[in-house]
Structure 1
Amino acid sequence: MTAWIDLDALWKIVVIGLLCGAGLPAVFAVGLRVLSRSERRAEAVAMASVPGLDGAMTGAAPASATRTRAETALAGLCFAVILAAIAWGVAFIVAGG
């Protein structure tokens, strides 16, 4: 530690800044990406069910257009982490931290 720079405080600020500044938006983006998978799947099913569009119809059954439980659970977990971070931040500010 120097007289001008407190390195212990500096690394804590950098780590928290990276986690909150880049980590939380990344978690939110993952949640949105997981939710959008079923929409893309529904579009693919709709395109496959139209005869004469992008080639001939195949005999294969189209993929399911519904959201799986794993996708819903993962998206819910991502959004729960975001809500928990927001609640922690508000509680920290209210407590005078």
Structure 2
Amino acid sequence: MNGIVEWGALGQVVVAGLLVGAGIPALFALGLRLLAGTTAAPRRATAAADRTSPERGGPVVIPRPPVWRLVAAVLCFGTVVGAVATGIVFLAAGGHS
């Protein structure tokens, strides 16, 4: 049965499937996580901060992420957009390299 299955081609398909099927969505999720706010509990330093707590119906303030996280998120999203665009161009060309 070894002559029927081309193991090298099967391995290439599995690796490509893992990269595209799991790697691209994971990269997108990483970009979203880099843009998300922190999960640390806010400090209660003053009485004014207590009046705007979410428990009292006040606004919830999510601090802006640092610049390095914004840059990393843009790189993640750029890679995802590039991979999708490359796939569309590949399919539009008839699926030939």
Structure 2 unpaired stretches of 5+: 54-61
Question: Shift in Å at residue 9 of structure 1?
Answer: 1.1
Structure 1 unpaired stretches of 5+: 54-63
User: CA contact under 8 A between 2:37 and 2:64: conserved in structure 1?
Assistant: no
Q: Is the partner of 1:44 in helix, strand or coil?
A: coil
CA deviations on 1:33-75 (whole Å, 9 max, x unpaired) are 111125x46x736x66216x7xxxxxxxxxx922211111011
Aligned identity (percent) is 37
Structure 2-normalised TM-score?
0.72
More helix by share: 1
Count of residues in correspondence between the two structures: 83
Q: Is the partner of 2:5 in helix, strand or coil?
A: coil
Structure 1-normalised TM-score?
0.72
Match of 1:2 in 2: 2
User: CA contact under 8 A between 2:37 and 2:63: conserved in structure 1?
Assistant: no
